[in-house]
C-alpha cells in the first residue's frame, strides 16, 4: 500500500471516495490533490535484497510446516503456502506496530503498555549509549519536501541533526545476523526532508522474539551523503515510472510527461 502526504506534511493515507466510504489513497488521487509519495513508496521501485530474502524464507518455512491435503493440486497447495507465508508477515507487522507505538508513546511522555516496557527501556539505553549528549529527541515528525516526497520520522534531534529509525525484527542475542542493509537510503531522505545539518544517522533494531534485546547501527555522515544519491535517483525513477512529477520546485529535466 502506498502512503501519501499533502504539501504541508499532513498524512493522506486514506481518502473518502464518491460513495462516502473511506479507502486507501491512490496515485490518481495524488495527481488530483497534488500529493507527494512517502519515502518508502518511492523506494519500492528498488530491489531490496534483504526484504526479498526474508519473503522467500517465509515461503519456504510455510511449505515445510504446512501439510499437503490428500488429492490437493499443486496450484491449490501453492496458494495455501503463499497465504500462510503472508499471515506470518501480517503477524510480524502487527507486533512491530505495537512495539513502535510503545516507543513513540515513551518519547511523547504518554503511558506505555506494560508488556512493552522492556522494549522501550532497552531502546532508550541504546540511544543514550550512542548519543549521550542528545536530549531533544522528537517522535513522529511528518514532512513534505519540495523535491516531491514526504514521510514521518520515528525520531530526530533538531539540535544535533540526527535521524533515528527503529525497526522490529525476529532476532536473538546469540545470533550473528547482519541487520543493516539499505536502511541508509530511507534515513538520508528523512534527513534531507527535515533540512537538518549534516551528521550521522542510526537504525535501532528491536527484537520481536526476545523482548529487551536491542541493537543499533550508526551510519556515518559520508554514508548518509552517498545514500542520498541513491534516493535521489530512486525518486527520479519513481517519477518516470508513474508519469507524475510530485515536486513543486524547478528541477533538472526528468522523463515525466
The mean per-residue pLDDT over the stretch 114-130 comes to 96
Which residues are CB-contacts of 207 (< 8 A; sequence separation ≥ 6)? 168, 169, 170, 171, 172, 213, 214
Q: Tell me what the mean pLDDT of segment 70-99 comes to.
A: 85
What is the spatial distance between Cα 20 and Cα 41, in angstroms, rounded to a whole number?
26
| pLDDT of 256 higher than 50 | no
Element at 224 (helix H, strand E): helix 221-242
Q: Is the predicted pLDDT of residue 2 greater than 90, yes or no? A: no
Distances (CA, A) of 127 to 23, 121, 134, 148, 165: 37, 10, 9, 31, 11
DSSP 131: -
Q: What percentage of the chain's residues is helix, strand, coil (to nearest 5)?
A: 45, 20, 35
Per residue in 136-160, pLDDT (tens digit) is 999 999 999 999 999 999 999 999 9
Residue-range domain boundaries for the chain: 4-242
By the 8 A CB rule, do 56 and 245 touch? no
Distance, CA of 187 to CA of 40 (rounded, Å): 11
Measured CA to CA, the distance from residue 144 to residue 150 in angstroms comes to: 4
pLDDT of residue 257: 41
CATH for 4-242 (3.30.230, 1.10.3470, 3.90.320, 1.10.620): 3.90.320
Q: How confident is the model at residue 183 (pLDDT cuts 50, 70, 90)?
A: very high
Query: Who has greater pLDDT, 175 or 256?
Result: 175
Identify the pLDDT of residue 250: 60
In this prediction the pTM is 0.86
Residue 182 · residue 45 · CB < 8 Å: no
pLDDT at 37: 97
d(CA 103, CA 112): 8
Confidence of residue 253 (pLDDT cuts 50, 70, 90): very low
pLDDT range class, residue 100, cuts 50, 70, 90: very high
**pLDDT at site 31:** 96
For the segment 163-188, the average pLDDT, to the nearest whole number, is 91
User: How confident is the model at residue 124, as a pLDDT?
Assistant: 97
pLDDT at 134: 96
Average pLDDT over all residues of the chain: 90
Of residues 71 and 213, more confidently modeled: 213
**pLDDT single digits (tens) 29-54:** 999 999 999 999 999 998 777 777 77
C-alpha–C-alpha distance, residues 35 and 198, integer Å: 27
Share of the chain above pLDDT 70, in %: 96
Which of these, 44, 43, 36, lies nearest to 12 by C-alpha position?
Answer: 36
Amino acid at each position: 500500500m502506498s502512503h501519501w502526504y499533502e504539501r504541508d506534511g499532513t498524512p493522506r493515507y486514506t481518502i473518502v471516495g464518491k460513495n462516502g466510504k473511506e479507502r486507501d489513497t491512490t496515485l490518481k488521487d495524488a495527481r488530483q490533490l497534488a500529493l507527494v509519495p512517502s519515502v518508502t513508496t518511492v523506494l519500492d521501485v528498488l530491489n531490496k535484497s534483504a526484504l526479498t530474502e526474508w519473503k522467500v524464507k517465509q515461503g519456504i518455512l510455510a511449505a515445510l510446516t504446512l501439510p499437503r491435503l490428500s488429492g490437493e493440486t499443486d496450484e491449490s497447495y501453492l496458494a495455501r503456502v503463499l497465504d500462510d507465508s503472508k499471515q506470518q508477515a501480517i503477524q510480524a507487522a502487527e507486533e512491530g506496530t505495537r512495539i513502535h507505538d510503545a516507543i513513540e508513546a515513551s518519547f511523547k511522555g504518554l503511558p506505555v503498555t506494560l508488556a512493552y516496557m522492556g522494549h522501550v527501556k532497552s531502546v532508550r539505553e541504546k540511544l543514550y549509549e550512542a548519543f549521550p549528549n542528545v536530549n531533544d529527541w522528537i517522535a513522529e515528525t511528518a514532512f513534505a519536501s519540495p523535491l516531491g516526497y514526504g514521510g514521518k520520522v520515528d525520531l530526530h534531534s533538531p539540535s544535533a541533526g540526527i535521524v533515528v529509525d527503529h525497526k522490529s525484527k525476529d532476532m536473538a542475542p546469540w545470533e550473528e545476523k547482519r541487520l543493516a542493509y539499505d536502511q541508509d537510503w530511507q534515513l538520508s531522505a528523512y534527513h534531507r526532508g527535515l533540512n537538518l545539518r549534516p551528521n550521522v544517522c542510526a537504525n535501532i533494531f528491536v527484537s520481536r522474539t526476545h523482548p529487551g534485546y536491542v541493537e543499533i547501527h550508526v551510519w556515518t555522515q559520508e554514508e548518509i551523503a552517498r545514500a542520498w544519491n541513491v534516493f535521489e535517483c530512486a525518486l527520479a525513477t519513481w517519477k518516470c515510472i508513474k508519469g507524475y512529477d510530485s515536486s513543486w520546485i524547478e528541477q533538472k529535466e526528468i522523463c515525466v510527461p
